[in-house]
Chains A and B, each alone.
Chain A
Amino acid sequence: GQQLNQSPQSMFIQEGEDVSMNCTSSSIFNTWLWYKQDPGEGPVLLIALYKAGELTSNGRLTAQFGITRKDSFLNISASIPSDVGIYFCAGRSVLGGSRLTFGEGTQLTVNP
């Protein structure tokens, strides 16, 4: 089945630093989504990408849909304490219908 490899699994950074995380898939995706999940809550959509090569920003967050359609990355600039949480990539495969496949998440800790 489809697999998403998300890295790194965890990151410990100082406030103000930039962060980068990425996902790679075993199959071609036509949609990449990035979510943030706080403890005890559902994932909140951060950025949606629909075309290969697309680069989209949302405030301090920037994400790109890889040219090969098998990868995506998320950058966070000038991190702040409220960026703490688990970040998930999710993708929709051209063969998987409407289902989303999720990565295992990146746990981000920001030290003030």
Chain B
Amino acid sequence: ETGVTQSPTHLIKTRGQQVTLRCSSQSGHNTVSWYQQALGQGPQFIFQYYREEENGRGNFPPRFSGLQFPNYSSELNVNALELDDSALYLCASSPGAGSLPETQYFGPGTRLLVL
């Protein structure tokens, strides 16, 4: 069984640029959630995708957007990068938003640095 994988592992961008982060969910999981973790803090929920549709969103501006593909992999896109976007971005997969109980399994994250 393959766990959650994310790419790239590290990324450096400049303010105003755009970035795309990728996530492959664990085998058999159809739900992907994205979190932002600033240094020294707990992860903050960005949004969740279930069967290619957005299924809940946290308190993040519209320049944070996402996609989920038919194979349940997912992308997180951030436009007009700001310095405060520097963080570890975590992807978590789970068996299904419609099934209870739901447990989320995390990937290793992508470390984004905005200069």
Min CB distance B6 to A, Å, is 8
Verify if A74 is at the interface (C-beta below 8 Å from B): no
Residues of B within 8 A of A35 (CB): 106
Q: Are B106 and A44 in contact (CB under 8 A)?
A: yes
Q: Are A33 and B31 in contact (CB under 8 A)?
A: no
Once the chains are docked, how many angstroms separate the CA of A48 from the CA of B92? 15
Verify if A92 is at the interface (C-beta below 8 Å from B): yes
Q: Are B103 and A43 in contact (CB under 8 A)?
A: no
Q: Are B42 and A41 in contact (CB under 8 A)?
A: no
* Contact for A50 among B45, B56, B101, CB less than 8 A: B101
Q: Of residues 80 to 96 in A, which have CB atoms within 8 Å of B's CB atoms? A: 88, 90, 92, 96
Q: Are A1 and B90 in contact (CB under 8 A)?
A: no
Given contacts A42-B90, A43-B90, contact A104 B101 (CB under 8 A): no
Once the chains are docked, how many angstroms separate the CA of A13 from the CA of B6? 34
> Which residue of A has the minimal Cβ distance to B58?
A99
Min CB distance A12 to B, Å, is 17
* Contact for A33 among B35, B41, B104, CB less than 8 A: B104
* Contact for A100 among B6, B97, B104, B108, CB less than 8 A: B104
Count, chain B residues at interface, CB 8 A:
31
> Which residue of B has the minimal Cβ distance to A6?
B42
Min CB distance B35 to A, Å, is 8
Verify if A45 is at the interface (C-beta below 8 Å from B): yes
* Contact for B44 among A42, A43, A96, A102, CB less than 8 A: A102
Residues of A within 8 A of B66 (CB): none
* Contact for B45 among A31, A43, A44, A100, CB less than 8 A: A100
Verify if B102 is at the interface (C-beta below 8 Å from A): yes
Q: Are B105 and A41 in contact (CB under 8 A)?
A: no
Q: Are A48 and B41 in contact (CB under 8 A)?
A: no
* Contact for B55 among A41, A92, A97, A101, CB less than 8 A: A97
15 CB contacts below 8 A, A to B, read: A31-B101, A33-B104, A40-B108, A40-B109, A42-B106, A42-B108, A45-B105, A48-B101, A88-B42, A88-B43, A98-B55, A98-B56, A98-B102, A100-B45, A100-B104
